[in-house]
Structure 1
Amino acid sequence: MSNSASDRAPVPQTIWAARGRHTGPTPEDVVRRTLRERRASGDLDDFSEPPVPEGSTDRVFEARWRAGGTVTVRARLTLVPVPERPGQERPEHEWTLVAEAERLWEEAWPSPATLFWPESGPVAEDGEWDHHPTVPGLRFRQVNALPLDDKEMRRRLRDAAREAWCVNLVVHEAMTPDERGRLPLARLLPPGLRHRVIEHRATPQQFRAVNWALKDLGVEVPRGGAVLLPPDPAPAGYDRQAYAVRSVFLDGSEPAELLTALREFTALSRPRPKGLGEALAGLRDNWTLMTPQEELERERRRVERYREALEAMTKSRDLYREAAEQAHEALAAYRDTPLPVLPQQRPQARNQSPFQQLTRTFERLRLPTRGQRPETPGTVPRTIPESDPDPEREPEGSDRV
């Protein structure tokens, strides 16, 4: 997770956002064809393909429409090539779609995904756009059977829960469903939720295994029920046990209790998932598909920003000029002031360095010259008689042999 302030901000309720992966070689052709069809049918007001930096392999598409006939919605889809991985048969692209409405998003509005991508089954050579962005094998709009291996099941659910752009729903079958029960529940969801939900399905025999796999996430699925995996990052005070549905009837009827849980879950004020802040900034700051009125308003805002910048520069220039004039006045006053007369310096002897003073002290304490003994207080100095010509001669009667 990013730690920037934009990523920690809550997701606005005017935003519809989703991520996915396209498995075909030329997804930009699929998007262009779909946008032309939607504009021709009146579902879109207009669309455009803004230029990208030179050398970039990304592709960007913008579209605008009126949800409910009156609410303007602006949307931006970005295609980014995915590095090839072992076993990959065809080139793949990750897509990010962010749409913003003029007021709170309504789940009954058309799904932005079906305005950029074909809603029906895609042509084989065109690829498929409804794959999970990071976990291979998972699909939107389909039932995703959980792996038979317990460890693989645990790994898949953990990896899927980390992708907070979509809602992960785990359903346990109380008994083997019939043909209608094997259809995905996503088809029964409102359009605003249909392409944001990944449905994981556990067989009746996998009840203990699936709850063992969900232990790390702190949730459990009731027998014959469903549970919504906690978002990442989770909002403050999030109750992990509050979004478990006791019973989900897989008979083709509308799952009312599950719909209620999904509405409450998607309405949570939770931090933005990784990458949403950047995608939302691209939609708002780099938008190019404008009406003449919007272009006029944009130019007015630009002129206002220039006026404010020019006013700030003029004010800064005046402050600088005033400060420079004050500095010149202070310098002139300093030059006109006579210098004070310094007191007469003391004799040079008084200004000797400590080293010189120490040297003079040692000179005064210098020892007598060689051959002289210093007189000790209280002793009588020895005298040599003048009649003795050899002061070193031994006196008579000495004991020396």
Structure 2
Amino acid sequence: MPSKPTVRPTTPPTIWLAHGRHTGSSAAEEVIRRCLRRHKDDGLVDDFTEPAEERRADALVFEARWRVEDTVTVRARVTLSDAGAWVLAAEAERPWDPRWPSPATLFWPSDPDTGWDHDPVTGGRMRGLNPLPDDEEAARRLLKGAAGDGWAVHVVLHEAMTPDQRGRTPLAGMLPPGLRHRVVEHRAAPHQLRWVNWALRATGVEVPRGGAVVLPGSPAPADYDAAGFAVRSVFLDGSEPAELIAAVTRYAALEKPLPTGAEEAVTALRERWTLLTLEEELARERALVAMYAEALEAMTQSRDLYREAAEQAHQALAAYRESVGPLPDRQPPPDSPLQQLTRTFGRLKTTALALRPGPAPEPARDEEPSERGTG
């Protein structure tokens, strides 16, 4: 029988997720350390740490805590591999607001040349615009990867005519801050529209001429409607594409399954968090004491119930013995017919052996004759 497809858990509304690859010349861990120190000195980050227990030969972990709107605490954790790949999971005390600062900006610098914001799936930049390759097969592979990605929001925009410098303004800078490092913009040249739509036909979406579409990702959100996330025209004159920004913002707000690999990141953020305030440490110790007390009480109750049940069983057995008197001696159970038959055969065998005649006695030997004389 075919196995049922695994249903992924949905992304909690309090969670912000992103991943990328650092390709800059400086060591990625040093870039993160410098950025966190600067933000702590500036008061943007309350505290940060590198958990020693999470350090491995092939990966490092950074934790940071800050507040938005002065009262909402955000906890974030970055896992950085030795190959430069990074995964960032952040959680706020209430559902995430896209107007809040991007957690990526607390770990990574905003300089455009630091090279930390490469999309691992397509290789594009999250803060730039990415022309599709001239090679048709390469472009098809890129679009297939973008359409199946569950981490970033991939937007494909068709240039009806080659834009001037104003029309080459990246979309990311116009988005709400919380979306700027989760969106990858792909640009199709005027002559590429036909085979771009050919490459996307399996996803059920189509890029309008001179317009744009937000790709569904895989698996697509339940509320995704291809027509609802396609924009008929985008004016590449440097003005704000309000309709496209609204479509991207609407898509980011949809309930979506956790992308592949994100469940582990969210679990680590929630269960292996080490950057605690003094109040949080006290609360955790109190919770542990309460948990141990409950476990001890449960063990004590279980022991008392067992002892009470044993006493009741002894009392019931004593009362039964008094009511029936002394128990008769146990007699061995009667032989089964097979045992009786076997025993009978044994007796017959013994009798037959007794009646069987013994071997005949050997005749007595004559004395050796004496030598006869010759006469």
TM-score of the two chains, using structure 1 as the length reference: 0.77
Answer yes or no: is 1:101 the counterpart of 2:88.
no
Residue in 1 that maps onto 2:270:
284
Which structure is larger by alpha-carbon Rg, 1 or 2? 1
* 1:67-91 C-alpha deviation (Å, 9 max, x unpaired): 122221111111123xxxxxxxxxx
SS of match in other structure, 1:279: helix
Superposition pairs of residues 2-401 of structure 1, within 5 angstroms: 8-24=8-24, 26-53=27-54, 55-81=56-82, 92-122=83-113, 128-135=115-122, 137-326=123-312, 328=314, 337-339=326-328, 352-353=340-341
Cα deviation for residue 23 of structure 1 reads: 2.0
SS of match in other structure, 1:95: strand
Cα deviation for residue 316 of structure 1 reads: 2.2
Residue in 1 that maps onto 2:358:
none
Using the alignment, how far apart are the partners of 2:332 and 2:52 within structure 1? 80
Q: CA RMSD in A?
A: 2.9
Letter in 2 for 1:79: L
Letter in 1 for 2:78: L
Cα deviation for residue 100 of structure 1 reads: 1.0
2:168–2:238 CA contact under 8 A, matched in 1: no
Change in CA separation of 1:275 and 1:355 when aligned onto 2, cut-off 3 Å: same
Cα deviation for residue 339 of structure 1 reads: 2.8
Using the alignment, how far apart are the partners of 1:239 and 1:350 within structure 2? 81
Using the alignment, how far apart are the partners of 2:319 and 2:65 within structure 1? 69
Identity %: 57
Using the alignment, how far apart are the partners of 1:169 and 1:234 within structure 2? 14
2:55–2:61 CA contact under 8 A, matched in 1: no
Using the alignment, how far apart are the partners of 2:55 and 2:161 within structure 1? 57
TM-score of the two chains, using structure 2 as the length reference: 0.82
SS of match in other structure, 1:212: helix
Cα deviation for residue 121 of structure 1 reads: 2.6
2:54–2:61 CA contact under 8 A, matched in 1: no
Letter in 2 for 1:44: V
Cα deviation for residue 207 of structure 1 reads: 1.1
Cα deviation for residue 40 of structure 1 reads: 1.1
2:18–2:152 CA contact under 8 A, matched in 1: yes
Using the alignment, how far apart are the partners of 1:289 and 1:41 within structure 2? 19
Using the alignment, how far apart are the partners of 1:176 and 1:287 within structure 2? 49
2:223–2:254 CA contact under 8 A, matched in 1: no
* 1:248-301 C-alpha deviation (Å, 9 max, x unpaired): 111111111011111211111121112222111111111121222222211121
Using the alignment, how far apart are the partners of 1:66 and 1:267 within structure 2? 22
Using the alignment, how far apart are the partners of 1:67 and 1:167 within structure 2? 24
Query: How many aligned positions are there?
Result: 339
Of residues 224-233 and 64-73 in structure 1, the stretch that sits farther from structure 2 once superposed is: 64-73
Q: Which has the higher helix share?
A: 2
Change in CA separation of 1:345 and 1:302 when aligned onto 2, cut-off 3 Å: closer
